[in-house]
Amino acid sequence: MTHPSSPSGAKLVAGNWKMNGTRASLVELDALKSLATQAGHPDLALPGARLVVCPPATLVAAAAERLAGTAAAVGGQDCHAQASGAFTGDIAAGMLADAGASYVIVGHSERRTLHGEDDATVRAKAEAALQAGLTPIVCVGESEAERDAGQTLAVIARQVRDSVPQTEAALVIAYEPVWAIGTGRTPTNAQIVEVHTFIHGAQPGRPVLYGGSVKPQNAAEILALSGVDGALVGGASLKAADFWAIAAAARA
Ligand code: PGA
């Protein structure tokens, strides 16, 4: 399902399963629905959070079927910049849309680092996503060395300028400091607010998610920070109980 009818002001809580999960893992989505039902929201329409689940591409269609009739959306984790063609192994944005996705993550730091994706590539992918009717979640974030060198805002400025398409279309930005991803380390609240405020200044009107070691224990505090419009959750999105606890911590 897409999100335009969701309550305004709700946080966007997106789970990035990365390269984890088989069809057996879809029971986590059933568990998520059970937890929501117990809390009085059987349709997953939470007052404080809009949910997106980004499983591996092999599970997008099945996840969309499992979440049909709920307010939760499904997203891909990457897409190709071209709509079709001789690109063995790649997946076009339109294919994700056809499988039931309404979002796609682009420019995740693991794609930038492990697949050599630069800002221009990320922007082309985001444009392809928009063409296919998907909402891109464009990721930016500084490395530890860049932060230590005092370059954080310069890096974010460049990534936002060069990775985010110039468009009026709905688009989400995720700030994910590379050193906070999968490490259990998070920036200070002041550091998160500084970067989110900066991105909002550069890209007014866009939701900006925080990502990097978001857990049930820190979700309420992070999601309540000024300029934080939601969370992109990796490891803690794999278990329904944790993902639910993070979503339940969101207050509109
Ligand atoms: P993490 O990953 O929550 O496991 O740190 C976040 C991400 O990479 O999107």
How far is it, in rounded angstroms, from Cα 44 to Cα 51? 8
* C-beta of residue 106 within 8 angstroms of C-beta of residue 96: no
How far is it, in rounded angstroms, from Cα 152 to Cα 180? 14
Q: Which residues pair with 211 in a beta bridge?
A: 232
Q: 209 C-alpha vs ligand 1 centroid, how far in Å? A: 12
> In terms of pTM, does the model score above 0.85?
yes
How far is it, in rounded angstroms, from Cα 215 to Cα 36? 18
Per-residue confidence (pLDDT) for residue 46, from 0 to 100? 95
**Which residue bears the tokens 């937890």?**
35
Per-residue pLDDT of the chain (252 residues; tens, 9 = 90+): 445 434 458 999 999 999 999 999 999 999 999 999 999 999 999 999 999 999 999 999 999 999 999 999 999 999 999 999 999 999 999 999 999 999 999 999 999 999 999 999 999 999 999 999 999 999 999 999 999 999 999 999 999 999 999 999 999 999 999 999 999 999 999 999 999 999 999 999 999 999 999 999 999 999 999 999 999 999 999 999 999 999 999 987
The counts of H helices and E strands in the chain are 10, 8
DSSP 99: T
Per-residue confidence (pLDDT) for residue 140, from 0 to 100? 98
Selected catalytic residue, list 41, 108, 117, 127: 108
Per-residue confidence (pLDDT) for residue 252, from 0 to 100? 75
**pLDDT tens column, 179-221:** 999 999 999 999 999 999 999 999 999 999 999 999 999 999 9
Which of 140, 214, 217, 223 for mutating ligand 1's site (highest number of atoms within 8 Å of CB)? 214
Q: Is 176 a catalytic residue?
A: yes
How far is it, in rounded angstroms, from Cα 101 to Cα 30? 18
**pLDDT tens column, 26-38:** 999 999 999 999 9
Q: Is 200 a catalytic residue?
A: no
Per-residue confidence (pLDDT) for residue 3, from 0 to 100? 52
* C-beta of residue 71 within 8 angstroms of C-beta of residue 43: yes
User: Which residues surround ligand 1 with Cβ inside 6 Å?
Assistant: 16, 176, 181-182, 211-214, 232-236
Per-residue confidence (pLDDT) for residue 1, from 0 to 100? 43
User: Closest Cα to atom 3, ligand 1: which residue?
Assistant: 234
User: Closest Cα to atom 7, ligand 1: which residue?
Assistant: 234
Q: How far is CA 174 from CA 38, 89, 142, in A?
A: 30, 26, 12
Closest CA to 234 of 58, 101, 63, 108: 108
Stretch (H or E) spanning 137: strand 135-140
Per-residue confidence (pLDDT) for residue 8, from 0 to 100? 57
* C-beta of residue 91 within 8 angstroms of C-beta of residue 80: yes
How far is it, in rounded angstroms, from Cα 156 to Cα 66? 36
